[in-house]
Amino acid sequence: MPFVTTADGAEIFYKDWGTGRPVVLSHGWPLNSDSWEAQALFLASHGYRIVAHDRRGHGRSTQTWHGNEMDTYADDLATLVDALDLRDVTVVGFSTGGGEVTRYIGRHGTSRVAQAVLVSAVPPLMLRTDDNPDGVPGEVFDGLRAGSLADRSQLYRDLADGPFFGNNRPGAAVSVGIRDAFWRQGMQSGHRNAYECIAAFSATDFRGDLARFDVPTLVVHGDDDQVVPFDVGGKASAALIKDARLIVYPSAPHGITDTHKEQLGQDLLAFLKEYDA
């Protein structure tokens, strides 16, 4: 299996599918690159090179004790992009991965980036603070941490069966297979890594990073996202990114990479083709 090695010795697993202009996919918490499999297969089949990595502490990458925060995640992503010498890249981040690509642009610029896409992403800032009064109360994330310490296997099961895919909404019918895949990927993450990542995705302030976006950017978000509320995530990010385009999926939950995989694939493909035209 292919890996790149970071400056501190962490081994970052990645997939490299297809040929063509590169698209880098960054996954959500507590998942790994397998969570992108529908989009990776679809886009690689339409003429793009798809690179999808497992964040440190997740999936098949090293379960480091340290570096479970956004600056290191972004630097790991830069290591991958540089090692593969990727250029004219479209960086796509889902949920926590949206924070990762946003911090990547904030720290490393867009010299290798052609386009950016944020899907159900955590920027600009999830946590409610004095200068972010509409954010999510800290008690919500304290609950996640408590659940992780008490029984993280059940926590992941409850998230998959409930808000992540909107399976707690009337009429929802998310398959057992999709929910099991979430649990399986979650349990592949390191306990400490996934625990500390809760602070990384909830309390990192990306507002300064979003101001550095100077490439065409697409923001996709469901307006019934119970994990990263639309007003806190996609709507707020689109307002801070110059000339960003916002696509709202009506009544869609957080996990649209699975629940709306066909629609998301088509929207990503259309956006990619705009650069290639």
Query: Which residues are catalytically annotated?
Result: 95, 225, 254
User: From CA 181, how far away is CA 275, in angstroms rounded?
Assistant: 33
Structure tokens at 230: 């639309």
Contact predicate 83/24, CB 8 Å = no
User: From CA 196, how far away is CA 191, in angstroms rounded?
Assistant: 9
**Residue 208, helix vs strand vs coil:** helix
H helices of the chain, where?
Answer: 37-44, 70-83, 96-108, 138-161, 176-188, 191-203, 207-210, 234-240, 256-259, 261-276
Host H or E run for residue 12: strand 11-17
Whether the ω angle into residue 124 lies within 30 degrees of 0, i.e. cis, is yes
Helix count (H) and strand count (E) of the chain? 10, 8
Host H or E run for residue 266: helix 261-276
User: From CA 89, how far away is CA 113, in angstroms rounded?
Assistant: 5
Whether the ω angle into residue 250 lies within 30 degrees of 0, i.e. cis, is no
Structure tokens at 239: 């307002």
User: From CA 153, how far away is CA 190, in angstroms rounded?
Assistant: 12
Q: Cβ atoms within 10 A of the Cβ of 76, count?
A: 24
